[in-house]
Amino acid sequence: MERYIAIDNVCAWPNLTLLPDGTLVAIIYNQPTHGTWEGDVECWASSDGGYLWTKRGVVAPHEPATGRFNHAAGLAHDGALVALVGGCGPVPPVGQRRDPNVPTAFLPTWVCRSTDGGHTWSRAETFTLPPNTPEVIPFGDIERGPNGVLSCTGYAWHGGKANHVYLLRSDDDGHTWPETILIGADDYNETDVLRLDANRWLAAARTLHDGHLELFASTDGGASWAQRGSVTLPRQHPGHLLRLADGRILLTYGIRNRGLYGIGARISPDEGQTWGAPLVLVDLEIATDGGYPASAQLADGTLVTVYYANRVPTHQRYHMGVVRWQADV
């Protein structure tokens, strides 16, 4: 197992995509703060399996007094990178404290697209909100389905006391997003989905009230969803799902328990029916903010898991970290 400080001085909340040529692309928030001042969503890339990273472009530059940081991302059928990007405002300039007496509001979601591997990006305001919902906050991977369909998730706050999470769908390869399907109501927010085949899907949903991950499954192509049960303990969230080359399912997630702050993993040999014992991939030790892992598997079988932390004993700043490892268990 190898561990690296990959991108320094960013909070990140990384999303990870493996391009057809083997390049890893990370879509990140570019400021060392938990979304409390102005910032952008950027695209960074690694062509050597996650060792070294370079900035490719700005996915979503913020407008004055706003922060762009929430995002879902993935590959379209035509090979373009697609990102749904949200955020909030008003927020102060970089380095200044936000006035707690000034209320903030979520920003409209932008649909961002790159046809050159993340170097340049277009932006469109073609995202459609679910009925009776003032905002949707995008999260997780964008998954490809048949006939040009793309899917990911977004969640909505309802007075801060209830969260609904939706499957968001595009039928034109990510240009517009007119369809929303409820996955879970009242207690669910940041959720990652995984398409197993044309009909079967999994979703790992963070709960609002105790912060565990609840597994949902669909057997009708995402049209309806049923709970499968908990897959982590409280304060272990959010999750990322990945099908490995050998068919197993990898779940990675943040751990925020007293005495253990880090990145965890579980592996299912039977497409989410049962799960192996939890593994601790990374112990973040002194961190007080961190997690949000995403994983990809390289052609040689190596797993690359990215995450963020506000500090570790040997590095006292926010950063995106990388761990390279093998799923031999």
Sheet with 213-218: list strands edge to edge.
188-195, 201-207, 213-218, 226-230
C-alpha–C-alpha distance, residues 196 and 268, integer Å: 13
* Whole-number pLDDT of residue 158: 74
Single-letter code of the amino acid located at 148: G
C-alpha–C-alpha distance, residues 84 and 152, integer Å: 9
> Which burial class, exposed, middle or buried, applies to 259 when counting CB atoms under 10 A from its CB (0-12, 13-18, 19+)?
exposed
C-alpha–C-alpha distance, residues 267 and 9, integer Å: 31
**Site of tokens 């207690």:** 187
Domain that holds residue 276: 2-325
> What is the model's pTM?
0.97
C-alpha–C-alpha distance, residues 215 and 196, integer Å: 14
Q: What angle do CA 302, 304, 310 make, to 5 degrees?
A: 155
CATH number at residue 150: 2.120.10.10
**Site of tokens 């040529």:** 21
The tens place of each residue's pLDDT in the chain, 329 residues long, gives: 999 999 999 999 999 999 999 999 999 999 999 999 999 999 999 999 999 999 999 999 999 999 999 999 999 999 999 999 999 999 999 999 999 999 999 999 999 999 999 999 999 999 999 888 889 999 999 999 998 999 999 999 876 678 999 999 999 999 999 999 999 999 999 999 999 999 999 999 999 999 999 999 999 999 999 999 999 999 999 999 999 999 999 999 999 999 999 999 999 999 999 999 999 999 999 999 999 999 999 999 999 999 999 999 999 999 999 999 999 86
The total number of structural domains in the chain stands at 1
